[in-house]
Amino acid sequence: MQDYTKHRDENSRDELWIVEHPPVFTLGRNGKQAHILDAGNIPVIPIDRGGQVTFHGPGQLVIYFLIDLKRRKLGVRQLVTYIEDSIVKFLASHQVVANSDPKAPGVYVNKKKIAALGLRISKGCSTHGLSLNVDMDLSNFKRINPCGYKGLEVTQCKNVGVNLSLEEVAQALTHQLITFFPQAEGV
């Protein structure tokens, strides 16, 4: 992501990268080590996104946004809102009521976090993105203060009645993001 953003120019295509990570804790630029309660044998990787600490692992959908915000005339808050609203709409299409919280970016179902966001903007372009818990081992979130919030509970699509595979969620959410995203051509 860093290399792509560093070398991109005004003609570079915007991209969405869809991945699934092995177990890892990531600590944002302003992240506090104190929010890692017990990493155990899971690596802790300091990264250049915003936010605190989160867990990534099998069964979690991660989508990275390599978007030229200047070209699209988007601000960071607008990008965050588009991402959150797309996740909320995806969940609503499966009869799940979800919401975002401007004071704590991400998406919540019954006050439990189902999706986290962490972005970095460099040269007017975004990197990093969202993680949506689909069908994973949630116990690793108890080894941290998720997103820097002590006692924050997390949930996943499977637990709220969205019984789709990771690939099916990736396809549906990507479609929702592209449909919802302004000037979506070229993403």
Dihedral of the alpha carbons of 14, 19, 25, 27, in degrees to the nearest 10: 0
Please tell me the predicted confidence (pLDDT) of residue 2: 87
Whether the CA torsion 137, 142, 146, 149 is positive or negative: it is positive
Confidence check: pLDDT of 186 > 60: no
Residue 176 contacts residue 141 (beta carbons within 8 Å): no
In the chain, pLDDT over 70 holds for what percent of residues?
Answer: 97
How confident is the model over 50-100, as pLDDT tens digits? Answer: 889 999 999 999 999 999 999 988 999 999 999 999 999 999 999 999 999
Distance CA 107, CA 17 (A): 20
Distance CA 91, CA 80 (A): 17
Distance CA 75, CA 87 (A): 19
Selection from 167, 112, 162, 170 nearest residue 141 by Cα: 112
Please tell me the predicted confidence (pLDDT) of residue 103: 85
Distance CA 83, CA 78 (A): 9
Whether the CA torsion 71, 74, 79, 85 is positive or negative: it is negative
Name the pTM for this structure: 0.94
Which residues are within 8 A (CB) of 7 and not within 5 positions of it... i.e. 6 or more apart? none
User: Is residue 157 flagged as an active site residue?
Assistant: no
Instruction: Write down the catalytic residue from 98, 147, 154, 170.
Output: 147
Please tell me the predicted confidence (pLDDT) of residue 153: 97
